[in-house]
Amino acid sequence: MAENPFFAPSDLPYELPPFADIREEHYLPAFERGMAEQLAEVEAIASSTETPTFENTIAALERSGRILDRTATVFFSVAASNTTDGIMEIEKEISPQLTRHSDAIRLNRALWARIKQVATDDPEEAWLLEKYRDDFIRAGADLSEPDQNRLRALNEELSKLSTQFAQALLKASTESALVVSDPKELDGFDEAKIESLRQDDGTYVLPLLNFTCQPGLAQLTDRDVRRRLYELSVGRAPGNFAIAARMAALRAERAALLGFPTHAAYTVADQTAKTVEAVEEMLGQLVGPAVRNAKREAEALAEQAGFDIEPWDWSYYSEKVRQARYDFDGAAMRPYFELNRVYRDGVFFAATKLYGVTFTERPDLGGYHPDVTVFEVANEDGSPLGLFVLDPYARPTKRGGAWMNNLVDQSFLFGQRPVVMNNLNITKPASGPTLLTYDEVNTAFHEFGHALHGLFSQVRFPRVSGTSVPRDFVEYPSQVNEMWVTWPEVLANYAKHHETGEPMPAELVEKLTAAETFNQGFKTVEYLAATLLDWAWHKLAPGETVADPEAFEQAALEAAGIAFPLVRPRYRTNYFAHIFSGGYSAGYYSYIWSEVLDAESVEWFKENGGLTRANGDHFRRELLSRGGSLDPLTAFRNFRGREASIQPLLKRRGLD
């Protein structure tokens, strides 16, 4: 283990992790050494006889735990993107240990006493100091010894349950997959798609993606096959219902220990929303209009179908109605959305136009899987900015969804430039080009918005680097980046037929634009139902338990006025990874909260000339570069020039 690659900083460019040298047996020794080393560093800070200062206390804490940080960053990235049975076993073993380790630091009374004595006049230092104090208070630093012991037990059990939930869901994506023996049952898919699903035993397997309405529901012509796929989707990982109910009860108990009436109140207190009432006021403005829109849409679908539709019919017949109303066929766009062109001539092109940055593929730098591609990013003057790592394809070893994470955090403290990563879950064709749906293109731009937030970070301390902002703010910059998907100059540059190179016909673009508010009732109800389900689980009172999670789920939706039988939540409890294994508990409202800021910002870009360097530089300077180094709503006001209004969002979603 003397050659354990985690024991020293990587010597690759930008300290990219040396994936080729990392083996599974390196992880546990590196975790163990990393935790021991950080505890020793923390003890030295806590026991110091020097007068507490920002430098010898807060900055010293920022410098601690380098081995642990390198190890955890790589391990959890690989566990999410390319796991193995061995990694899953390590994850079960190490997750509670990491929880105990975190508690050992944040419940260290001597350390907390020093932090409370630190003072500074520097604005960035003062903001970080306040974040540390808030972190420690919310972690239980002021609790009595018995209460701290109970808190440790709660945290450890929650950590174990979260891992169990995530691993059960990963297995369910294949164990609950749609399996057919006759390819005729897959009518509606093109030949390349069908071929990509064929297995060695002659069957065809369609794995589940991590949301209720699987993409295949819009294409499969066989109604019974759609029903089977839908029922597999909503019924997967049934054991997760009990895990979720237990986690919600434990979170309620923990919130009470920390002085909050509910876990929801605990969560939003350090978000931009601040209060439960603020979130509920915003959601309350959306539920009624969204349900009314969805009911109108359902009537149109039933008329198109000629019968009363079921939930598994919605996506299929919404495409039929879209074609009838707007003469728009989403499938007709796919030949113009080839993966490499979408990124190089679309995602990267827009970033170059806005910010002057350029991208150069680095085939000499590898990832943890052959499908991973690394790009070096440079500023307009050629100065190095960081690395962008792309992992686009779905596989059984990758969790569902799409996400961004940092492999290296930017900070002036360590002189580190950022290494950021985007993961998507696009089906890899058996051969030929990878053609994307419009939604997948949108996801690519969205996740790259997160990447820009990480790449443009210009802060001193890792704790506030890049996307280290409140959950209800972090989605905002990524949602803004979606506006360039259909921006004429950008679309014309990347939307070209993969065989002929011909640009997407202008009439197809016009039809897409005309159809943009179509099906927004469904999309908003689907999202709000998940949001309000999250909210219901996390407004449980301390001591309140749920014996029948499925009945609780239905009652919660009915109480919120969002129970519409044809539109189930985007995520049901049993596969709601965001809130039971992904850090978004009582925070799924963040997407719509952030979209208020996003819609305002899109208006600003349009009012000021759109895709220009001046606009990009302003957004980068005032917001993207600041990370979490100042109050996020202050950063928004510095960019926008005023407070946000909900009206642009209502207009965008057809709810005004």
Residue type, position 75, single letter: F
Strand 384-393 to strand 178-180: parallel, antiparallel, or no bridges (unpaired)? unpaired
Tokens of 43: 């003890």
Say which DSSP state 407 is in: E
Q: Which residue has the tokens 């209060």?
A: 275
CA–CA dist 611, 418 (Å, integer) = 25
Mark whether 440 is an active-site residue: no
Angle at 57 between CA 34 and CA 51, to 5 degrees: 140
3-state secondary structure 274-320: CCHHHHHHHHHHHHHHHHHHHHHHHHHHHHHHCCCCCHHHHHHHHHH
CA–CA dist 222, 229 (Å, integer) = 11
The answer to whether 579 and 585 are in contact (CB under 8 A) is yes
CA–CA dist 613, 596 (Å, integer) = 24
CA–CA dist 206, 224 (Å, integer) = 15
Q: How far apart are the first and last CA of the chain?
A: 62
Tokens of 201: 């035993």
CA–CA dist 174, 198 (Å, integer) = 14
The answer to whether 520 and 293 are in contact (CB under 8 A) is yes
The sign of the torsion formed by the CA atoms of 195, 201, 203, 207 equals: negative
* Edge-to-edge strand list for the sheet holding 403-408: 358-361, 373-378, 384-393, 419-426, 403-408
Q: Is 322 left (phi over 0), alpha (psi -120 to 50) or beta?
A: alpha
Please choose, from the candidates 529, 514, 454, 443, the residue with its C-alpha nearest in 3D space to the C-alpha of residue 479. 443
**Given 447, 526, 595, 600, the catalytic residue:** 447
- CB within 8 Å of 113: residues ≥ 6 apart: none
3-state secondary structure 503-566: ECCHHHHHHHHHCCCCCHHHHHHHHHHHHHHHHHHCCCCCCCCCCCHHHHHHHHHHHCCCCECC
CA–CA dist 453, 202 (Å, integer) = 45
Tokens of 224: 């019974």
The answer to whether 483 and 442 are in contact (CB under 8 A) is no
**Active site amino acids:** 447
